[in-house]
Structure 1
């Protein structure tokens, strides 16, 4: 094993371990709050789906790449390759869709009463579950052709392009590659556009809110923002993180598709950027969920009060 493969393997290993621990910690947080009877926010359902989607990306892309880079010789079968790529694409798509829906619903939540979003404030929470179900269904259907272009065996075919991903191979010809790329990119581009529009709306609302409370900041007081606006800032940080890594990953993927023999570094950087968002996002969201300690403290106090009443 070369030193460069070892370095990339360690990077994949670190991303996978940190990402899995982060996502499972956040999922445990929501399960814990559910069992102690705490009322969750409307957008927490979207976050649960985002955690599941991130975990699928880590297990279907991060783990195989880590094993292949570190010299693991037991490559998956043809069915295994098709399944891994399909699960990865669905998880990646749902991650995009969840982040998009999260930004849209948050923009609706913090919108003023006299805005065009006001009518949707009461109705939006009712459609969160349906929206997430449609999101899963959409990306499961869009990515159905993926298994047709993935194989576990090297094919010496001069007509078709062969891309080596380390543990599986992607096969495509010059005619279909552009159409297939456009087919896969359309829902991503749509979600990205909606995400940017919602983020722009949130930034505008935050700016107007800051202008209204400017006179408060001129005093000696140091008021804290409302929980809704603190959550909005974290969601904007999450969206900017996603857009940054998505852009870097997309640029690498475009070069890999267009180049006949892409470099080793380019082939490794693309999955590194792909796995970055599922790894980092749970820690960004943990800043949003500073209510963990507050809920835990409340639960402990209730248990102490109950034990005191029982003892009396």
Structure 2
């Protein structure tokens, strides 16, 4: 094993270990919280589904990639490979969708009374559960259409490329499959990323204005302790920057790999590492949203 493969193996192993321990610990925490209270706050419910989606990403992406990085290759057949890719697509879509839902929900919650959200903020909590269910169903359908088209067209004469995942290889991706994948999967991811950016920036503006209003009150007490508004703003900024950086860059790389068949070893593995960063380490940010 050369130096680069050893480094890649260590990175995948670190992401797998941290991601499994972190996501499952938070899932168990919310399950215990639900067992004690028989209910969860809307944000807690969203966070639990984010952790569940991220855990599926770790299990379906990081685990096989770690095994492959340590030398075991091509251990899945065609059907198992496509099914694993299907799980990966669902998990990624739900992770992005629920993160967007969390950001919008928080923006509505802290919005002032005179804002346009005033008539919706109290009713929004009732639809959190159904919204999450719709996200799961929508992700299943869109990824199912994409994967089924590639599965049906695998014997087509137009199929001239193969996709090497390390743990398996599939012969797919004619032009129609690439366009279908971009429309059904990549475009919604970009749209949700833009919506997260908008709602998060709205929260930062609201918190900054609130801090300006009460700044003279805090200054009279002479306290140097960081205010709750400042800590909330820092958490939002950290969540925004980490999500947008890792997921947007990953979406761009996935789009390049999907649309341009001549991808190299570096582009593929960099995309794999980047796509696992937020699912593996995002729980550190989401622990205190």
Scaled by the length of structure 2, the TM-score of the pair is 0.89
Runs of 5+ unmatched residues, structure 1: 289-312
Alignment CA distance shift 1:135-1:229 (3 Å): farther
Contact 2:74 2:166 in 1 (8 A): no
Higher mean Cα deviation, 67-76 or 31-40? Answer: 31-40
Q: 1:147 to 1:176 in 2, by over 3 A?
A: closer
Q: Is the 8 A contact 2:50 2:99 kept in 1?
A: yes
Q: How far apart are 1:240 and its partner, in Å?
A: 2.2
> Within 2, Cα distance between the matches of 1:114 and 1:229?
23
Q: How far 1:146 moved relative to its partner?
A: 3.8
Cα deviation per residue 1:80-137 (whole Å; 9 max; x = unaligned)? 1111100000000000000000000000110111111111121011010011001101
Measure the CA separation in 1 of the matches of 2:158 and 2:108. 53
Q: How does 1:1-312 map to 2 (within 5 A)?
A: 1-37=1-37, 40-73=40-73, 75-148=75-148, 159-170=159-170, 171-219=172-220, 220-222=222-224, 225-226=227-228, 230-231=231-232, 233-288=234-289
Deviations 1:223-263 (A, max 9, x none): 6645x875564244223211100122123223323444322
1: CA distance between counterparts of 2:150 and 2:230?
A: 45
Deviates more, 1:65-74 or 1:50-59: 65-74
- Secondary structure of the structure 2 residue equivalent to 1:143: helix
Change (3 A) 1:83 1:213: same
Please name the residue that 1:294 is paired with.
none
Distance (Å, rounded) in 2 between the aligned partners of 1:107 and 1:7:
40
Compared with structure 1, are the counterparts of its residues 44 and 213 closer, same or farther at alpha carbon in structure 2 (3 Å cutoff)? same
Compute the displacement of 1:39 (Å).
Answer: 6.8
Conservation of the 8 A alpha-carbon contact between 2:86 and 2:144: yes
Where 1:262 maps in the other structure, the secondary structure is: coil
**Structure 1 stretch displaced more, 118-127 or 236-245:** 236-245
> Partners in 2 of 1:36 and 1:16 — Cα distance?
30
Could you tell me how far apart the structure 1 residues matched to 2:159 and 2:33 are?
Answer: 56
Structure 2: distance between partners of 1:88 and 1:261: 22
Gaps of 5+ in 2: none
Between the aligned partners of 1:149 and 1:272, the Cα distance in structure 2 is 27
**Offset of 1:280 from its aligned partner?**
1.0
The residue matched to 1:12 in structure 2 has which SS?
helix
Residue 17 of structure 1 deviates from its aligned partner by 0.6
Q: How many residues align?
A: 285
Task: Flag the structure with larger Rg.
Answer: 1
